[in-house]
Amino acid sequence: MSTNFLRAARSTFRHTAVYNPSHFASTRHFHSTSPKMTVHNILSTEAFKEALKEHKTIMLDCFATWCGPCKAIAPILANHSNEEQFKDIFFAKIDVDDLPELSQELGITAMPTFMIFKDGEMAPAEKLVGANPNALVALLKKHT
């Protein structure tokens, strides 16, 4: 096979619509405003108790860094935290390995565990164990 054939093929590819860089530039969407909410990382038991006092409804994600399902559902939870319909919910997360006392106090037995806290109560109003996106949305909608 001659090198002229390869040069011609490369040249043809560059001029096709697939390669055209201007097509890629037009698909970028930049937002001038930052997200309204986010999932807040709770680093201590005291910080969690303060959050309970300050917010009427809290969605707590109890995760571990080594947990595959936790990693899979984390971006889904982050997307929901930016949705307008869930604006009244404070989204938070704790690493169960970093806060073992709080994890034990909350009764965490598996990861991920999602808990809804209402009106400053230390006992969860509702609990969801496992990475189930549909059940997570149902839980959020129930408590908005």
User: Of these residues, 52, 58, 64, 70, which one is catalytic?
Assistant: 70
Q: Is 67 assigned a catalytic role?
A: yes
Phi, psi of 57 (to 5 degrees): -130, 130
Side by side, which strands form the sheet with 57-63?
Answer: 39-41, 89-95, 57-63, 113-118, 126-129
SS3 40: strand
Q: Is 62 assigned a catalytic role?
A: no
User: Of these residues, 39, 67, 99, 131, which one is catalytic?
Assistant: 67
Longest CA–CA separation in the chain, Å: 76
> What are the residue numbers of the active site?
67, 70
